Chain A
């Protein structure tokens, strides 16, 4: 009876045959990773939270277009005589509105209808839904991914997963992979729902969809625009993975990413203001800091596509922060965003690898 047996690593024990009812799949790195991504998606699909968030995304897209269509319905149900007032706007060339014919009044109504229903039709409907999806969808994906990453620690299932065979890196990459799939599905779900809702509601206006804008170039820019929107979601979702891993809880994942999202927006605005008031090199320095924020670089990527898709006058959410995103080149934006992605994934990987899994 010895207390100090000798350790030997010589001669790896060959595994005995398993029972015939255990059917193993391919065990190469990629196959294992793909199976884990499938597993993550399966878990997400079975969660009530995912369904609720999916319904919310769908409802947001629908509600936005319903609200926008209220203007169309208002114009439609307003008698043509009401549109006399619109001629007062032509200031430099005064028109005697009272002398407008019924046809002119009808034309005025039609012109206004054309304008108010414009966001219901492509390409403006795409712009509208993406601008809405950027902040609201990002919040939804952060909630979903924060619970996916932090939930493993909150529930304690990380012990179960980490003792099954795949490496911790594979588990982390599976979460990143599932996040990307969710991002693609989410952005497409909201975009398609928004565009279809807009088209359906536009039927009431009686104005047909004009596809003159459509070209190969437009399609290319539109794809890049949607990809930039997906990148926006993905980055905040990756931040949620990082904070969920760091804080080992769902709340940490969600709150970390949401706080980043909010603080960056507020800080960007404050730095811009501070830059304006403190003139000179220091002011320029302060104004330049937001150029390295996630939101501004995503905004730059999107704005650089918007001008091809919607024209220069299109509405952009990023403009409201007063950032100088339009001055940021695509290359600058892509490099900055790549650095953020690498930093957050890298840190999450490092924490995941080094950390002891205790209670």
Chain B
């Protein structure tokens, strides 16, 4: 039974890399990469510029050869079986480029012929479908050189989807798109995921990734630094912010919570005291937001009553920046939430700027 389950699991692995490495001279673009993408995943592939995302995608597509390690797609080694793998993949690698003297539709005819589709009008219906999907039907007969960046990006997506592939690799698909265009691409990715397609999405737009991806991998300087379910990652960054009336109460609450942790409250990861912009001390508790009630009850049992209590989910952007930007300490709120200020924490608790962080175990001030 267990063997059957393992076999079933193996058969659901769409992309798998093992010690995948690419060096350009002395520069190691991708180092010892282990990735696993399951069938039906919408897999976010994140990392700063130059972290090796595009190099990895190129290795997966056979555009460049790995220096070491291997990549397996659909259970086939990409070096040995690329001709069998590629017809099952649709891909955009960086900014898609087409023949400038051809129209969008003619470019899709060319791509279709290169993809093994019969030439001529037999596939006109499919071409119309994908053009409709990316809302380029009205500009289908316009020369590609006249397309805007957003239109070029859409045509790239249309080309990637032309053969109805089961795996779609999208490298920055929202580049050059306006917010409405990004929204449409997000909808499109969700529609494709609903159809059972496996999506491998490389993007800088973490909010987009958080909304559409179920799993992510984060790359930095060619090294994989995190891989896992988005929900798990977010759960790990959940916090509860508690404001008490006085500094003494805040310190007392901190001690009570640390004591509770020592007594076995393993849901409580860490407790920090921070000063907000008004100079008021606030407790930042690294714990699942579902534990807010328990925290409140624990404090109340010790005659400490929270003036404010805010569960905070965290965001992929914060996790990403904390992992990839060493200067940003763990737990720091970043982005729009940080700009909103402490007065706005009713909806989205203020990510309190770290003036003073007291970490568990250190007990000091940094």
Contacts and interface: CB of A to CB of B under 8 A. Distances in A.
A163 B61 contact: yes
Nearest to B69: A7
Interface in B1-35: 7, 10-11, 13-14, 16-18, 34-35
Interface in A25-56: 25, 27, 32, 35-36, 38-39, 42-43, 46-48
A39 B110 contact: yes
A71 B204 CA distance: 73
A2 B17 CA distance: 13
A159 B18 contact: no
B123 A12 contact: no
Which of B14, B34, B228 counts the most chain A CB atoms within 10 A? B34
B34 A21 contact: no
A271 B77 CA distance: 53
B117 interface: yes
Given A24-B116, A25-B118, A1 B89 contact: no
A167 interface: yes
B102 A3 contact: no
A10 B76 CA distance: 8
B359 interface: no
Interface stretch (B90-98, B241-249, B271-279): B90-98
B196 interface: yes
B297 interface: no
B72 A7 contact: yes
A281 B126 CA distance: 70
Interface string B81-120: 0110011110101101111111000100111011111110
Contacts of A5: 16, 34-36
Contacts of B227: 1-3
B159 interface: yes
A165 B98 contact: no
Contacts of A23: 117-118, 122-123, 126
B284 interface: no
Contact of A165 (B74, B101, B116, B228): B116
A148 to B, nearest CB: 11
Contacts of A164: 86-87, 111, 114-116
Contacts of B111: 160, 164
A155 B113 contact: no
Contacts of A24: 116-118, 163
B110 A165 contact: no
A163 B98 CA distance: 13
B129 interface: yes
A157 interface: yes
A21 to B, nearest CB: 4
A4 interface: yes
Nearest to A21: B126
B225 to A, nearest CB: 8
B114 A1 contact: no
A19 B164 CA distance: 6
B75 A8 contact: yes
The DSSP consensus for interface residues of chain A is loop
Interface residues of A, number: 49
Contacts of A156: 97
A16 B39 CA distance: 11
B229 interface: yes
B10 A25 contact: no
Contact of B125 (A21, A25, A357): A21
B58 interface: yes
Contacts of A11: 7, 10-11, 75
A185 interface: no
A36 B113 contact: yes
A169 to B, nearest CB: 10
Nearest to A13: B74
B70 A7 contact: yes
Nearest to B236: A1
A212 interface: no
A39 B102 CA distance: 12
B63 interface: yes
A266 to B, nearest CB: 36
Interface in B53-70: 58, 61-65, 70
Contact of B34 (A4, A12, A43, A47): A4
Nearest to B196: A16
A200 B174 CA distance: 61
A167 B164 contact: no
Contacts of B35: 5
Contacts of A47: 101
Nearest to A15: B88
A161 interface: yes
B98 to A, nearest CB: 7
B232 interface: yes
A6 to B, nearest CB: 8
A20 to B, nearest CB: 9
Contacts of A4: 34
A100 B63 CA distance: 82
Contacts of A357: 58, 63-64
Contact of B114 (A2, A27, A166): A166
Interface string B213-242: 000000000001011110010000000000
Given A16-B196, A164-B86, A358-B64, 14 more contacts: A7-B17, A7-B70, A8-B72, A9-B76, A15-B166, A16-B166, A27-B116, A48-B101, A157-B98, A157-B99, A160-B114, A160-B159, A163-B89, A165-B83
Sort A-B residue pairs by CB-CB distance and give the 4 closest, nearest first.
Answer: A7-B18, A1-B228, A5-B36, A356-B64
11 contacts: A6-B18, A7-B17, A9-B77, A11-B10, A15-B166, A21-B129, A22-B164, A24-B163, A25-B118, A39-B113, A167-B82
Interface of B: 7, 10-11, 13-14, 16-18, 34-36, 39, 58, 61-65, 70, 72, 74-77, 82-83, 86-89, 91, 93-94, 96-102, 106, 109-111, 113-119, 122-123, 125-126, 129, 159, 162-164, 166, 196, 224, 226-229, 232
